[in-house]
Structure 1
């Protein structure tokens, strides 16, 4: 059966809007109002007006979300109502997820995934053009709208490889790592090509090749990690199925062989291998790996030394970032680290329970792409600041449904 792209509705508009997340329409104090902000408000109002959630459907996710909302109020009150803007933003995302629960037919849900994949193919074409265009000074390699870019975006930076300096591709995302992460999720959604014969169309195979090439042009390790970890989590869910042994195991063997050849005999493999060294030793000129996966431990330890259960309070993560950035250039907090720091042991346990709870839904047996999206969310929370990320909550909204 040929899978159709989902016709435009409020949720497909939400998917489209997240691709313009680097662009701010206006600023409310320091908060950038993006197209996603506007569309998500429309989604929220639409669900309330249509009484879809007048009597809240009791699901495992809704119970955990309500518990999280209650805890958020407790945490905000305990720390004397500080950082109101961070509290309101976190509360908004939780309510958006809570009220997005709906019934979907399997082809409708997978239509959203197809729409996302289709756009990522277009982004891949542009990303490949960027790498070549920036090298030869072609036009339109940077779509920057002055005065309307989200504050703090990196856009792109250079690397030295193959004997020359290259600009990393980012398409229209805030930075190359964001582009690579979205590509990894899209590539994971193409795994059914391996499992099911009807998925192996020329169009799908061509899209996979384009997106793999675009992933290389980002020169970012986070996307590769999301793909590998997501594939590993998928394998755990399929471990007892015959398809796993017939299709996935041979794929792993081929990937290991190709990966070994690339790492051993190419400059590109050497580059990505050197990126792994960032996890072990801090280097100011290549610090992203260390600050993303190692430095945050010190932040959480300091916050928990004051209050292990409640953390340091919602919105205080930026205080720690500004403190440690003196010592570690490019200091940042991933979604896991930020929730642990600001909301303590209670907060991170509730949040992780929420994400893991999706793996217990019967939808796992209905849609392989549902499983793949769930599998990609776990590594994603360690790669970027997911708790206040539009991208992360988009995927939460998409999977928070009952598939028939």
Structure 2
């Protein structure tokens, strides 16, 4: 009933605001008529003074002009008031009837037809206790955050909210949540790998020194952890060690089941460092380089290895010239030039990528964040 009372009071206030001007009655001529009479008396007095020789003709003319101006203004104001007060009484009464009767009836009719007066109120506590299927992810996260603010040492709470932060794109919050999980619940290969993944996401795909150390801790506890293995290969690629990245990723593919959902990702990653790689069959000997090839690669001088890496990067650049729509390829090229220390080419590649992606805000943000993280913005 309190809702209906509030609505009734609001309606009454609106009606009063409409009726108040209509209920005010004019008071006839008012001050306007009095002013006209005063100015006319002043004109007569000036004329008497002029004839009696009390004021000069020039002074009398100037005073007469000024008082005449005021007289005209007062007369105009009175005419406007006369026009206003001629509003018929029946019109004011009709407006009052509409405001008092018709408006509330129309409002109640519309609300009864399209509103929901039968629904009860829904306080915040009740909404938070609603079934999960009926709640938004933002409300659930807000509830968990409120709980963690009061209970910052609840490791399970941090562990629950961390993957949600990842899905929402709140990567810095995910890093904090996963670090708190490890602090409170202890370190494990899975938790360390999850933390490293969040650190890479927060750095826009760059495996930073902190992330690399995190994955190393994960692999020390479980050398078969797939997430840590994959990102270790990515770190090797970004450090300019494609042969090491290829070795790690080939090892994952060799031991992975044929229907493993992550195989396409590993295959694409392997193709970046070995463009001519063919599909690696699961659970079969690796068809990769022979022992002689590996031994020869180990004997390469640093200059020769650098030349090999340069050749791979140049091939990627040529491929992007032919197919500029590969946005991920542009990101790899920018990162590769930056890792090699060729900052001018990294900037050129970033600008070429910007020209390609056009007005795509999400891709432009990823590219700008990468350039900023590599220190090549501008």
Instruction: Give the helix-richer structure, 1 or 2.
Output: 2
The reply to whether TM is greater than 0.5 is no
Q: Shorter-chain TM-score category?
A: under 0.3
The normalised TM-score by structure 1 is: 0.23
| More relative contact order, 1 or 2 (CA 8 Å, 6+ apart) | 1
Higher strand fraction (1 or 2): 1
